[in-house]
Structure 1
Amino acid sequence: MYNQSDSRYTVDPKLVNPRADANARRLMKYLCDIYGSRILTGQQIGVESTPELDILYGVTGKYPAVYGFDFMNYSPSRTERGAECRDTDTAIDWWKSGGIVTFCWHWNAPKDLIDLPPDKNWDTGFYTKATTFDITQAMDHPESEEFQLLLRDMDVIALQLKRLQDAGVPVLWRPLHEASGGWFWWGAHGADPCIRLWKLMYDRMTNMHKLNNLIWVWNGQHADWYPGDEYVDIIGEDLYPSVRDYSSQQEHFQKARTYTKQNKVIALSENGVLPDPDLMLKDQALWAWNCTWYGTFVYVTEDGRREYSSAYTEREQLIKYYDHPLTVTKDELPNLIEYDI
């Protein structure tokens, strides 16, 4: 294990929710304890199938420490059209097997889906281009149908988060991601309505639904979109550099630190290519965890068989990442149910 004494990596593990439950506090304490000295390996789940873990294990002989899930297919405007999802069940099993859980939510717009093929189908309704849903109208008018539908959708996802809480699962919870890019409807009308939506979601899930298993990971990717330190536990950056670009992404790591005047844990909450551990050490860009996106970033299908793809991260580079003393794989995690807080 590396011993980094840089004060930037000294983070108070106190969560923004003062009623955070014991397992959430244990996970946050562990993240802060290793921050700056170890990096958790991670992988996002596939939407319709989950071959990524088996493929990673086949190449490295190890599983990632963090498994990424998505509440997308629990969105009401998807379930009413027949979508189904088992990510909550899979996440509970992953936690029980000793892994760490993170969830994002590709939130299909509650209404006003354009639903025109080929690139504006209802099932791409989280994209700005596929819906006319107006977040500003919704947030400016709490009496409106649009606002009430926002509450309905949040309450549906809260039920899934409650299932996780009841199973003892702490969640690295990353809603409203990549907002400043504008390609998702929650970021389509600027920072102000999105920040208000974040605060509304935090209040409703924390105070109304009493979800105390959440570690709030903000991923807005621009200082103007930051809702405030009292609403954020961890800052995430989503980065997709050119293929086989193994740089540490130091400039993005340093930029993320400027969003707050406090020391916050900084994570590589999505990535395509894996950064090189030696370069991360050299540049002191020590992300808390990575979460490689799924599908073609991991595998290709040839003759009906799924095999590891070196298109983005070469096989040897993947093995180096999973074998490196800087990184933590699932087998190296402590028993987080008994972790000392």
Structure 2
Amino acid sequence: MNGSSNKSRDRYQVEPKLVNPRADQSALRLMAYLCDTYGKHMLTGQQIGVHSTPEMDILHRETGFYPAVGGFDFMDYSPGRVNQGGVSHDTDHALRWWEEGGIVTFCWHWTAPKDMIDLPNNKKWEKGFYTEATRFDLEEAMSDSSSEGYQLLVRDIDAIAVQLKRLQQAGVPVLWRPLHEASGRWFWWGAKGPKPFLALWNLLYDRLTNDHELNNLIWVWNGQHKDWYPGDETVDIIGEDIYPPKRDYTPQADRFDTALAYTNTNKIIALSENGILPDPDQMLAENVRWAWNCTWYGEFLYTRDEEGKLPYSEEYTEHFMLHKLYSHPFSITREQLPNLKTYRLP
């Protein structure tokens, strides 16, 4: 059998090990479960909104189930937003989600530490994670650890560490997906290319793991290009964010294969953001078995009618496909998850 066939056959065989040698039991139990189910099932997932959070209730109303994975965002904990009056409750939402039996994943739309630009019809800090909204120069900041820019990066990381510690203290493992979509360069952490991005990734990993001793994190890298891959030593899981055309239910096999090729080591591959739900039958037929999906919030799930009600929107994923995925034997919902607090250790 040739090498490519071997990779196809063995792609779902991943050892339940984490890059942090001090990973705590909560993270190890979750990784063991992910490795046990990888290739056999896909965990359903949903990101909640920023200013309103009806997504989970809408899914339950429409399907009778809750997603297995809840997606949250540290965006409004960024000091650049807090200093402007930003308030977030996502850590509280995540704590509740875990206690209700769900899995937690966090991203961080990190508002640049300084040098915001006013954009038309926008407070300058509200879109401060976008390259177009800031003059903050990551390359310059990372070139000098004594610079103001570098020290502000550390300040921001320390602020998010406070929230991650709340989760760690409550025994919550986190699928942690920072600095996402860097190769697209639409976020400031990717604007200056791979080198400063990789330096920032390593700073973030080192600061959270070694200085803050955060051992509940499973590190999900989502750079979306091989040149931006930090290396197997700091990446547990690889995520791809995919927004295909409306009602395109194909499993995105080319993107799965691209993600596999970022490293020669077998890593779990997740659909860490999606606009459209993939057809589970096509996933099985094409052997494209994402570990989990996480549908983005708002318009990808619902609309708002004249009475202020929130009907399901079929604009992106039709109702029949939503039902098909949530009731399919390949899919795992929150109701089907084991007790991850007591799941066997690897």
The TM-score with structure 1 as length reference comes to 0.98
Q: How far apart, in 1, do the equivalents of 2:16 and 2:126 lie?
A: 38
Q: Does 1:282 align with 2:285?
A: yes
Q: How does 1:116-195 map to 2 (within 5 A)?
A: 116-118=119-121, 121-195=124-198
In the TM superposition, residue 6 of structure 1 has moved relative to its aligned partner by 3.0
Q: Does 1:298 align with 2:301?
A: yes
CA contact under 8 A between 1:268 and 1:290: conserved in structure 2? yes
Unaligned runs of 5+ in 1: none
> 2:3 is matched with which residue?
none
> 1:319 is matched with which residue?
323
> 2:12 is matched with which residue?
9
In the TM superposition, residue 141 of structure 1 has moved relative to its aligned partner by 1.1
The equivalent position to 1:51 in structure 2, one of 51, 54, 65, is 54
The equivalent position to 2:334 in structure 1, one of 322, 330, 341, is 330
| 1:164-219 Cα distance to aligned partner (Å, 9 max, x none) | 00000000000000000000000000000000100110000000000000000000
Q: How does 1:243-254 map to 2 (within 5 A)?
A: 243-254=246-257
In the TM superposition, residue 122 of structure 1 has moved relative to its aligned partner by 1.5
CA contact under 8 A between 1:38 and 1:327: conserved in structure 2? yes
Q: How far apart, in 2, do the equivalents of 1:340 and 1:144 lie?
A: 46
Letter matched to residue 11 of structure 1: V
Structure 1 residues 120, 84: closer, same or farther in 2, change over 3 A?
A: closer
> 2:39 is matched with which residue?
36
SS at structure 1 position matched to 2:142:
helix
CA contact under 8 A between 1:23 and 1:169: conserved in structure 2? yes
> 1:97 is matched with which residue?
100
Q: How far apart, in 1, do the equivalents of 2:136 and 2:207 lie?
A: 21
CA contact under 8 A between 1:120 and 1:129: conserved in structure 2? no
In the TM superposition, residue 115 of structure 1 has moved relative to its aligned partner by 2.3
Q: How does 1:191-270 map to 2 (within 5 A)?
A: 191-270=194-273
Letter matched to residue 93 of structure 1: R
The equivalent position to 2:73 in structure 1, one of 70, 74, 87, is 70
Q: How far apart, in 1, do the equivalents of 2:124 and 2:312 lie?
A: 30
In the TM superposition, residue 267 of structure 1 has moved relative to its aligned partner by 0.1
| 1:300-340 Cα distance to aligned partner (Å, 9 max, x none) | 00011111000000011100000000000000000000101
SS at structure 2 position matched to 1:160:
helix
> 2:27 is matched with which residue?
24
| 1:58-102 Cα distance to aligned partner (Å, 9 max, x none) | 110000000000000000010010010010011011101110000
Q: How far apart, in 1, do the equivalents of 2:176 and 2:334 lie?
A: 19
Q: How far apart, in 2, do the equivalents of 1:272 and 1:30 lie?
A: 26
In the TM superposition, residue 119 of structure 1 has moved relative to its aligned partner by 5.2
Letter matched to residue 33 of structure 1: D
In the TM superposition, residue 117 of structure 1 has moved relative to its aligned partner by 2.6
In the TM superposition, residue 10 of structure 1 has moved relative to its aligned partner by 0.4
Unaligned runs of 5+ in 2: 1-7
Q: How far apart, in 2, do the equivalents of 1:261 and 1:116 lie?
A: 43
Letter matched to residue 313 of structure 1: T
Q: How far apart, in 1, do the equivalents of 2:118 and 2:128 lie?
A: 8
CA contact under 8 A between 1:41 and 1:329: conserved in structure 2? yes
SS at structure 2 position matched to 1:305:
coil
Letter matched to residue 284 of structure 1: N
SS at structure 1 position matched to 2:233:
helix
Q: Does 1:271 align with 2:274?
A: yes
CA contact under 8 A between 1:119 and 1:130: conserved in structure 2? no
In the TM superposition, residue 120 of structure 1 has moved relative to its aligned partner by 6.9
In the TM superposition, residue 7 of structure 1 has moved relative to its aligned partner by 1.2
Question: RMSD between aligned alpha carbons?
Answer: 0.9
**What is the number of residues matched between the two proteins?**
337
> 2:5 is matched with which residue?
none
